[in-house]
């Protein structure tokens, strides 16, 4: 185990330090119902270069996905996405940072947010073992959304801070123009509709969900499998958090003993195990597996498994 080297990385000047107009109230994306006003000045401001597509042709890289609802699509997802070796985390769960993960085809990011020294940081439990300001991490997301105007991205927060603190970071990152507000129980829009409207970022959280129209309570929308497996044999399809009728399905597919590692990822990230387990859990739950969640996304067959899961027409 290498020594802890707490690191705070700064994004390139083109991404985060250009001047921008004052953000909107963090609780109120344009066109959504009003939320609480957040009036603190942002600590980080991202330069945005939005360029909506002239025509929507390849949603998340695949034209077949454009007319499927959001809940009918599988998304490669990274567990503890912020905890990367690239960003100096001790006991990382990923090799590369958020921007590279997104450029590699990841479309779901599991992020932990904690208070640390009166600020909000992306870190996993102990911020002294690795951390990054939430605003800077969100700048990576904003930058990627600008790079790929036909991408739909999801953030799943494990949060230990108030919703208002998270909202300030979204305001400073310029992401309130991108977040999608989903009424509970309503049908999800298609990817084409989300892209056309410019609402391409879904935000789910386990704390304060519903504080803003776009800050969605994860366990009112999603269900999951257990997340505590130490060996491949302990991976199962049994119910964990979330109601069985919830439309979104999180497939936790990683090993922790006592931490995640590349060696453990090598044991479970390859097909046929990954794909076969996803299909077995879909059959068991009667739900499409949406978020195929792994450690070390660039080890094994995540992209191939997601493509295979999407290579089917959705059920009516």
Q: For each of the chain's 316 residues, which pLDDT tens digit applies?
A: 333 333 333 333 333 433 333 334 455 544 444 333 344 434 567 889 888 888 999 999 999 999 999 999 999 999 999 999 999 999 999 999 999 999 999 999 999 999 999 999 999 989 999 999 999 999 999 999 999 999 999 999 999 999 999 999 999 999 999 999 999 999 999 999 999 999 999 999 999 999 999 999 999 999 999 999 999 999 999 999 999 999 999 999 999 999 999 999 999 999 999 999 999 999 999 999 999 999 999 999 999 999 999 998 776 5
Structural domain 68-310, CATH architecture: Alpha-Beta Barrel (3.20)
User: What's the DSSP call for residue 27?
Assistant: T
Distance CA 204, CA 312 (A): 26
- What's the pLDDT at 51? 86
Place of tokens 């789910």: 204
- What's the pLDDT at 45? 76
- Between helix 302-310 and helix 273-285 the angle, nearest 10°, is 40
Distance CA 226, CA 298 (A): 22
Task: Give me 17's structure tokens.
Answer: 């330090």
Nearest to 128 by CA among 259, 3, 44: 3
- What's the pLDDT at 163? 98
Cα dihedral 246→78→47→145 (10° resolution): -60
Contacts 24+ apart (CB under 8 A), 122-127: 122/82, 123/82, 123/83, 123/89, 124/80, 124/82, 124/83, 124/89, 124/93, 127/6
* Cβ neighbourhood burial of 30 (10 Å; 0-12, 13-18, 19+): exposed
Nearest to 34 by CA among 26, 42, 22: 26
Nearest to 12 by CA among 148, 142, 152, 198: 142
Distance CA 270, CA 274 (A): 6
In this prediction the pTM is 0.88
Domains of the chain, by residue range, sit at 68-310
- What's the pLDDT at 52? 84
- What's the pLDDT at 43? 54
Cis peptide bond upstream of 31, omega within 30: no
């Amino acid at each position: 185990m290498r020594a802890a080297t707490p690191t705070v990385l700064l994004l390139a000047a083109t991404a985060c330090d250009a001047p921008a107009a004052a953000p909107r109230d963090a609780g109120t994306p344009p066109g959504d119902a009003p939320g609480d006003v957040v009036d603190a000045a942002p600590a980080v401001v991202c330069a945005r270069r939005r360029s909506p597509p002239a025509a929507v042709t390849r949603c998340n890289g695949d034209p077949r996905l454009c007319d499927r609802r959001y809940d009918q699509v599988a998304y490669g997802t990274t567990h503890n996405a912020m905890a990367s070796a690239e960003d100096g985390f001790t006991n990382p769960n990923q090799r590369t940072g958020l921007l590279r993960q997104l450029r590699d085809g990841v479309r779901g990011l599991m992020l932990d947010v904690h208070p640390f020294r009166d600020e909000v940081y992306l870190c996993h439990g102990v911020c002294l073992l690795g951390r990054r300001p939430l605003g800077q991490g969100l700048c990576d997301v904003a930058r990627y959304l600008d790079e790929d105007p036909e991408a739909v991205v999801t953030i799943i927060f494990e949060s230990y801070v108030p919703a208002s603190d998270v909202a300030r970071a979204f305001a400073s990152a310029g992401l309130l123009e991108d977040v999608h507000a989903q009424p509970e129980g309503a049908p999800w829009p298609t990817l084409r509709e989300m892209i056309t409207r410019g609402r391409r970022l879904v935000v789910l959280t386990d704390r304060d969900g519903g504080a803003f129209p776009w800050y969605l309570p994860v366990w009112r929308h999603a269900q999951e499998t257990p997340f505590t497996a130490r060996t491949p044999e302990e991976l199962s399809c049994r119910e964990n958090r979330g109601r069985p009728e919830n439309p979104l399905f999180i497939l936790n597919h990683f090993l922790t003993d006592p931490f995640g590692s590349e060696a453990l990822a090598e044991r479970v990230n390859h097909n046929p195990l990954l794909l076969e387990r996803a299909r077995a859990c879909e059959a068991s739950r009667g739900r499409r597996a949406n978020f195929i969640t792994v450690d070390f996304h660039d080890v094994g067959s995540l992209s191939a498994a997601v493509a295979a899961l999407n290579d089917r027409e959705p059920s009516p």
